[in-house]
Amino acid sequence: MTPHLEAIVNARLVGADGLYTLRMASGRFSAIESQVGELNASAEQLDARGNLVSAPFVEPHIHLDAALTAGEPHWNRSGTLFEGIECWAERKALLSREDVIGRAEQTLKLFAAHGIQYVRTHVDVTDPQLTALQAMVEVRERVRDFVDLQIVAFPQEGILSFPKGPELMSRALELGADVIGGIPHFEFTRDYGVESVKLLMDLAQAHDCLVDVHCDEIDDPQSRFLEVLAAEALSRDYGSRVTASHTCAMHSYDQAYCSRLFRLLQKAGLRFVALPTENLHLQGRFDGYPKRRGITRVPELLDAGLKVCFGQDSIRDPWYPMGNGNLLRTLDVGLHACHMLGIERIESALELVTDNGAAALNLSDYGIAVGRPARCMVLHGHNPYQVLLNQSPVLASVRDGRCLVQRQISQPAVAGWE
Ligand code: 17E
Ligand code: FE2
C-alpha cells in the first residue's frame, strides 16, 4: 500500500475560483483551505498542478457477471437486446466461480484505474445455482480496498416468466445481494410485468433494501412500467431508494402521456440511470430511417428536478462489444446524443458521473467535505469544460488518504486554454 498523503495542494474545485489545499488525517478530509498562490508540494503531498479535483466517479450500472465475454460462445449479430439475452443464456450455462471472479476483478481494476471508486453491478439470478451471485458476494469483499461494490439481484430472464423466479430473488437477497432488480418489459405479458414490480417492491420492503429496475428497455411506446414503479415507490414512500434504469421507451412516449407521467415522477422522487453508449447501440434496431436513439429524456428529467446519472452498462459482453472503463467517454457520448452541449449543461456535466450516481446508489458519505472519507480524483483540466475536451484518463485517484492511481499525461492540455 502507498503511504498516507498529508494533503493535496494546488487543487481547483468544481464551481469555486482559485486554488485549494485539501488536508487529510486518518483517511478523512480534515480541512479545505483556500490558497493565496501556488504552493510547492512536499514529499507527503500530492500536487494537483491546478487541475480539477472532484469526488470519485460512480459507475451506477454495469453487468460484471457478463463482462469480457463478448463473442463467447458467439457474437451478437443483430445488435439487439434480445439476441444478447440469448447469447448470454448460453454463456451463463458455462459459468464457474473462478471465471466470474476473474473477469469481475479484472474489470473493477480497470475501473479503478479510471477513478471509479463506487460501482453498482447487476448480477443475473435466473440461474438455479446462483453461481454468479455467490461469486460476486466474494468479489465485493476482495475489492474493498479499492472499490465499494453494490450487488443487484437481477432477474435477466424475468421473475414471473422464469421457473422459480420469485424464490431465486429471495435466495439472492439472503445470500447477500444489496439491491433488488427487475425486468418488467421482458416478462411474457404486461400483467406479469406489473405483478413483477409489485412483487419486487414487496421483497425490497421486507428486506429493507434498495431497488434498481431495468425498466422499459425497449422502443415500444406501450411499455409503461415506469409509471407502475413510480406509483409503487410513491405509495410506499420509498422513492429515494428506487432507481429506474434505461427507461428507453420514454424516448418514444407521446408528449401528452409524458406530461402526465412527469407529475408522478416528481412526486415519487425516484432516481434515473441512462446508459447512452449501450442504448444507442441496442435501440432503434427495428426502425427503418429515421432511427430512434432510444435514450431516456435526460435533460427533461434534470429540468424537472430529478436525479439522472450515466452508466456504462457493459464492457465487452454479449450486448455491447466496446468499452474501456472511462466514464468520460460515456459522458461525452451521452451529452452529444441527448442534445446537452449547451454551456450550462457542459459546466454541470460531471454531476452525471459523480453526485447523481452517488444519489442513485444512496451513498451517505460521498463528496469532498471535512469529515468525509478522503476519496477524490484529479482530472486533466482546470474546469469541467476542459476535462471534457481533454478526455484524458484521471491523473490521480485517492482513496481514504492514499493514492490508488497516479499518472503523467504527455498530451498537452487543450489548445487555446493554456
Ligand atoms: N441485460 C439487459 O437486460 N440489458 C442490458 N442492456 C444488458 C444486460 C447489458
Ligand atoms: Fe443493464
pLDDT by residue, tens only, the chain of 418 residues: 788 999 999 999 999 999 999 999 999 999 999 999 999 999 999 999 999 999 999 999 999 999 999 999 999 999 999 999 999 999 999 999 999 999 999 999 999 999 999 999 999 999 999 999 999 999 999 999 999 999 999 999 999 999 999 999 999 999 999 999 999 999 999 999 999 999 999 999 999 999 999 999 999 999 999 999 999 999 999 999 999 999 999 999 999 999 999 999 999 999 999 999 999 999 999 999 999 999 999 999 999 999 999 999 999 999 999 999 999 999 999 999 999 999 999 999 999 999 999 999 999 999 999 999 999 999 999 999 999 999 999 999 999 999 999 998 766 567 666 5
pTM value?
0.98
Supply 149's cell numbers.
Answer: 461494490
Where are any strands of DSSP class E within 255-357?
Answer: 271-274, 308-310
Residue position matching grid coordinates 406489473: 194
Count the residues in the chain. Answer: 418
Residues annotated as catalytic are 217
Which residue's CA is minimally distant from atom 3 of ligand 1?
Answer: 156
CA of 282 from ligand 1 middle (Å) equals 9
The ligand whose atoms approach the alpha carbon of 86 most closely is 1
Supply 83's cell numbers.
Answer: 439476441
What is the position in ligand 1's atom list of the atom closest to the CA of 319? 9
Query: How far is Cα 270 from Cα 229, in angstroms, rounded to an integer?
Result: 9
Q: Give the amino acid at 133.
A: L
CA of 313 from ligand 2 middle (Å) equals 5
